Amino acid sequence: MLRLRSSCILTRLLSSSPAASSTSPLHRLLSAAAPVPAASPSPCFSVEQYLVDTCSLTTAQVAKASTKLSHLKSPTNPDAVLAFLAVLGLSTADVAALVAKDPQFLCAGVETTLAPVVLGLTGIGLSNKDIARLLSLVPSSFRRRYVVSNLQYCLLLYGSYQNLLRALKSGNSLLTYSLERIIKPNVVILRDCGLADSDIAKLSIGMPRMLTTNPERVRVFLACTQGLGVSPGSPMFRHALHAVAFLGEEKISAKAEHLKKTFRWSDAEVCIAVSKAPMLLTRSKGMLQSKSEFLISQVGLKPAYVAHRPVMISLSLQGRLRPRYYVLKFLKEKGLLHHNLGYYTIVQATEKVLLDKYISPHSEAAPHLAQDYAAACRGEVPARFIFA
C-alpha cells in the first residue's frame, strides 16, 4: 500500500507544472508530496528479507549489502526510494543492480536529496531516461546535492552526454570530487599546456585521475612528460601524459631505462622514440624484447633507425612485421625489385598497397607469392620464404 501511495505522490512530484504556483520549483515539487510517515521500528522488519523480496538481490548480494543497512528498522524510507526509482523508469533489474552497487541509496532522503537533484538535472536539460542511466552508473553521486553543478560543468567539458557517460564508465567517481578545489584547477592546468577541451575529455576518459587527483600531482605528471622530451603542443603530448599518469614517475623512469637497454638507444634516442610513440612506455618487457630481437638482430636495422620510426615496435610481429620482411627478402632474392625498397616503406604500406604494388605485379614471376604471404600472416613459414 505504501509503495503504491508513494508512487502516486512521486508521479505528481516529478510532473508538477511550473505554472501551478508562483513559489520556487523545488517548493512546488515538495509540496506536491504528502509527508512521509516517520519511520518507526517494525518488529517484523528484516533487512535481509527486504533485500530479497523487494529489491530482488541474490543471496550473495544480500550478504554484502545488509552489513551497510544494519541500522534500518523500518521499510518506510526504502519504500519511498524504490517508488522514486520506479517513477524515473528504472526496471526491477536496474533497481537490483543499483542497490547491490550502493545499498545506502535506500537511506537517501527523497524530499531532501533525491527530488532536488532530479529537479536540478532536469533543469539543465536531462530527461528522466538520462537521469535513470546516470543513476545506474553512479548511484552514490545522487546522494550529494552538488552533483548537479558537477554534472553541468562536465557536460560542457566533454561536449556531449554520451562522452560524459563514457567517462563515468571508466571512472565513476568523477561527479563526487570538488569542482572548485579539484576538477576546475586540473582543467586549467591542462589547458595551460595547450590541450583543448576535446583533448582533456579524451585524456580523462582513458585516465579519469587526470581530473580527480590533487592538482599538484597533475603538475608532476606534466613535468615528467616534458622530461621525456615530449613538449606541450606536440600531437603526442596527450598520449605521453596518459602513459605517465598510468605508470607513475618511478615506473616511467625504469621503463625508459629498459627501452635504452633493449634497443641499444642513447638517452636522446629514447626521447626521440617516446616523443613519436609514447605508448611504448606501456608495452611489456617481453613484447619489447621480441621486437628488438627481430628488428635489430634479424632484419638488421640500426638502433637509431628504429628510434626514428618507433611505430614499427607497436605493429604485430606475426601479422605484419615478419610476413612483410619475408616478402621483401623474397623479392630481393629473386631480383624482382628495380629500386631499393626499404623495410619501413613496405611495413607502413596498407594491405591494399602491399598487394597492388608489391605482390600482384609479380604474379607471373612469383605465382605463389600472395598465397605464401597469406600463410606467413597465419604464422606459417612457407618453404619459399626459407632463405639460406
Query: Model confidence over 266-283: pLDDT tens digits?
Result: 999 999 999 999 999 999
Asked if the model's pLDDT at residue 11 lies above 70, the reply is: no
Query: Model confidence over 228-270: pLDDT tens digits?
Result: 989 898 889 999 999 999 898 889 999 999 999 999 999 999 9
Query: Model confidence over 315-350: pLDDT tens digits?
Result: 999 999 999 999 999 999 999 987 888 999 999 999
Q: Quote the pLDDT of residue 233.
A: 85
pLDDT tier, 24 (very low <50, low <70, confident <90, very high otherwise): very low
Q: Quote the pLDDT of residue 176.
A: 87
Asked if the model's pLDDT at residue 384 lies above 60, the reply is: yes
Asked if the model's pLDDT at residue 213 lies above 90, the reply is: yes
**Range 282-288 average pLDDT:** 94
Q: Quote the pLDDT of residue 378.
A: 93
Asked if the model's pLDDT at residue 360 lies above 70, the reply is: yes
The pTM for the full model equals 0.74
Across the chain, mean pLDDT equals 87
Query: Model confidence over 118-154: pLDDT tens digits?
Result: 999 999 989 888 998 998 888 988 888 889 999 999 9
Q: Quote the pLDDT of residue 167.
A: 87
Asked if the model's pLDDT at residue 187 lies above 60, the reply is: yes
**Range 349-372 average pLDDT:** 93
More confident residue, 361 or 5: 361
Q: Kindly report the three-state secondary structure assignment for every residue of 71-137.
A: CCCCCHHHHHHHHHHHHHCCCHHHHHHHHHHCHHHHHCCHHHHHHHHHHHHHHCCCCHHHHHHHHHH
**Amino acid residing at 306:** V
**Amino acid residing at 177:** Y
pLDDT tier, 2 (very low <50, low <70, confident <90, very high otherwise): very low
Asked if the model's pLDDT at residue 165 lies above 80, the reply is: yes
Residue where the block lists cell 552508473: 137
Least confident range from 29-43, 131-145, 169-183, 282-296: namely: 29-43
**Range 53-79 average pLDDT:** 92
Residues 243, 246, 252, 254: is their CA dihedral positive or negative?
Answer: negative
Asked if the model's pLDDT at residue 32 lies above 80, the reply is: no
Contact (CB, 8 A) for 145 and 116: yes
Q: Domain ranges in the chain?
A: 1-145, 315-385
Query: Model confidence over 188-197: pLDDT tens digits?
Result: 999 999 999 9
Q: Quote the pLDDT of residue 203.
A: 92
Cα 85 to chain center, whole Å? 27
Contact (CB, 8 A) for 240 and 280: no
Asked if the model's pLDDT at residue 29 lies above 60, the reply is: no
State the alpha helices, DSSP H only, in 209-356.
209-212, 215-227, 237-247, 249-262, 267-276, 285-292, 303-308, 311-314, 322-333, 343-348, 351-353
